[in-house]
Each structure stands twice: as C-alpha cells, then as structure tokens.
Amino acid sequence: MITRFLAALATTAALALAPSAHAILIDDTGDDFSYTYSHTGGVGTNVISAFASFDVTSVSASTIQILVSVTNTSVLTTFANAGLNSIGLATSPLVTGVTISGGLVFDGANTDDVPSLTTINLCAFAANNCNGGAQPQLLAAGASDTFLLTLTGNFTGGLLVNASGVKWQTSDTSYEEYGCERTGPCVTPVKGVPEPATLLLFGAGALGLAYRRRAA
C-alpha cells in the first residue's frame, strides 16, 4: 500500500513539475521558435496580423540573448493605419532585466506587460512604451524590424516561454492579442493558474487523504 502511494506521489510530482504542453523551453542556443498573431472581428475588412521569429543566440545561467524579427502583416482596407506598437513574452521564471539593441523601430524594452494581456511580463516596444505612442513611430503595416534582446535572470533550469502577445494601434482603436506558436497549439493562457509547487502540494495532499481513507 505504501509503495503504491509513493509511486502515485512520484507521478503527481513529475506531472506538476513538467512544463505545460504549449510551453517552449530555452536552455541552449538553437531553441528557436516563432509566433503568428491576428485579430478578427469588429475591424471591417481589415486583416490585423503579425509574425515574429525568435532566434536564441546565447544561453547561460544568468543571460539569454534572443534575436527577434517581427513583421506587421496587417492588410488595410478601411483603416488609415495599424501600427504595431509592442511585442511581449510570458516567461517563467520572471526575467529580472532586459536590454534591446539593433532595432530601427523597436528601441525600448522592459519587464512590463501589454495592458490587457495580463500574463505578459517582458515587453519590447516602439514609440513611448508598451502601452502606445504616436503612429509614425510604430511598425507600419507591411514593415519589418529586427532587434536583439538580452535577458538577465536566474536561468539555471532554462527559461520557459508560455505565451507571446502583441499590440497594434489603428486609426479605429488599439488591439491586443496572444499569438499562436507555429509548431504547437494556439492556447490563450489564463492568469492565476497554480504554479507547479502548488500543484505538487495539492496532489500530495489528495493522495495522502486517499491513503488515510484506505487505511482506516
């Protein structure tokens, strides 16, 4: 009985500590990934979209460098403009610092969020900040930009990328959307999902309760 209980506990621990199915683990150079982004509904015949590739060029226990190439693939028919303002990542652990270099349009970065995409904790932006700026400073429809992000933090176990999101500013209003990872499912993350340690404790407690009931 005890052996069976311990085996079940080990299984629960492994499941709790494993990354989610759609998370991307960065622990070596070449752990590259890409996302597509789009907004549908309420925009007439406009197609508001973008694409970004993330090329991991350097990894250490405290620093990760990612070369980001982003294109605003929006097609305008009724909007006068739809500038891409910011692009962000939801990471675990949290990135403690970030610098940006090389971009012609995207020239700022911080450990902040795109306003309504509440899981995003790392953001690169054009214009003023992740919240917006003047249209001429944004990445125009059909334009591309490439920049290098240098992330600092505790990456001894690697860095999980759980989601990515962008923000456009149009002549109508602004739009914020999570992206779809090109080689994985399109998942919108939910804020407040229990951390692995919480899941482990919950699983251990549930198994312990079940064991006590069986032993009674």
Domain range list for the chain:
1-20+194-216, 23-186
Q: Are 126 and 105 in contact (CB under 8 A)?
A: yes
Does residue 13 carry a pLDDT above 90? no
**pLDDT (mean) for 205-212:** 45
Token pair 């759980």 is found at 162
Picking from 48-57, 103-112, 113-122, 179-188, which range would have the lowest pLDDT averaged per residue?
Answer: 179-188
Average pLDDT, stretch 198-212?
43
The residue among 206 and 33 whose pLDDT is bigger is: 33
Residue with tokens 């002549």: 171
pLDDT at 168 over 80: yes
- What average pLDDT does the structure give for the chain? 80
Mean pLDDT of 156-164: 95
Is pLDDT larger for residue 26 or for residue 204?
26
Domain 23-186 is in which class? mainly beta
Task: Give the rounded percent of residues in the chain with a pLDDT score beyond 90.
Answer: 56
pTM here?
Answer: 0.76
pLDDT bracket for residue 202 (50, 70, 90): very low
Q: List, in order, residues 6 or more apart from 35 with CB less than 8 Å away.
A: 51, 52, 54, 164, 179, 180, 181, 182
How high is the pLDDT of residue 113?
Answer: 76
For the chain, state the CA radius of gyration.
Answer: 20
